[in-house]
Amino acid sequence: MKASRVASARSWLRTSNVPSDEYLEGIYYVQGRDFVDAGIVSSEIKKNLKEKGIPESIIRKVAVVTFEAEVNIISYAEQGTIQYYVEPGSITIEAKDIGIGIEDIELAQQEGYSTADDSIREMGFGAGMGLANIRKYSDEFEITSVPKEGTYLRSTIYVNGK
């Protein structure tokens, strides 16, 4: 990604990081239908975790969870946030959005199930692996949704395993 591209992406990406030896928090605002910048949030979180010295195997899990959550917000919501916390022993990711919500959460978590429209699929998104991957790479996972209002998900990844 060109430096100018990163700078423009950061202009809409308002972040708040509070570093300390034991705790790091970041919140990222994600605009719905902004496929051009899909992946920026997960890349920023990945970079911050590398700087914090988090093991690569944990960073990969966090990257999958945050990327899938980010693409889901971009695909299905008007807007949303992704927030993460690094605490001794765990990393927690929370994604909240204002959007169409999910009618059937159990069905939506099945591999390959997707409600993506043709425009999303033509861009290479919407394969129906988002929630399944988030669940797979989370040590703890919860999701709630209200149709026509939005969705909340929380993923916890343990740094030293369960």
Question: Looking at the DSSP assignment, which residues form a beta bridge with residue 95?
Answer: 82, 153
Average pLDDT of the residues in 83-111: 96
Rounded Cα distance between 106 and 102, Å, is: 10
Amino acid identity of residue 90, one-letter, is: S
The whole-number pLDDT of residue 24 equals 73
Superfamily of segment(s) 15-158: Histidine kinase-like ATPase, C-terminal domain (3.30.565.10)
Spatial contact of 26 and 46, defined as CB atoms under 8 Å apart: no
Average pLDDT of the residues in 4-9: 32
Q: How confident is the model at residue 87 (pLDDT cuts 50, 70, 90)?
A: very high
Residue 8 has pLDDT above 60, yes or no: no
Q: Kindly report, residue by residue over 14-62, the tens digit of the pLDDT.
A: 344 434 455 778 999 999 999 999 999 999 999 999 999 999 999 999 9
Q: Kindly report, residue by residue over 102-161, the tens digit of the pLDDT.
A: 999 999 999 999 999 999 999 999 999 999 999 999 999 999 999 999 999 999 999 987
Taken in order 55, 56, 57, 63, the sign of the CA dihedral is positive
The whole-number pLDDT of residue 13 equals 35
What are the domain boundaries of the chain?
15-158
Q: For residue 66, with 0-12 CB atoms within 10 Å meaning exposed, 13-18 middle and 19 or more buried, which class applies?
A: buried
The whole-number pLDDT of residue 4 equals 30
Amino acid identity of residue 144, one-letter, is: T
Q: How confident is the model at residue 162 (pLDDT cuts 50, 70, 90)?
A: low
Rounded Cα distance between 139 and 43, Å, is: 21
Residue 10 has pLDDT above 80, yes or no: no
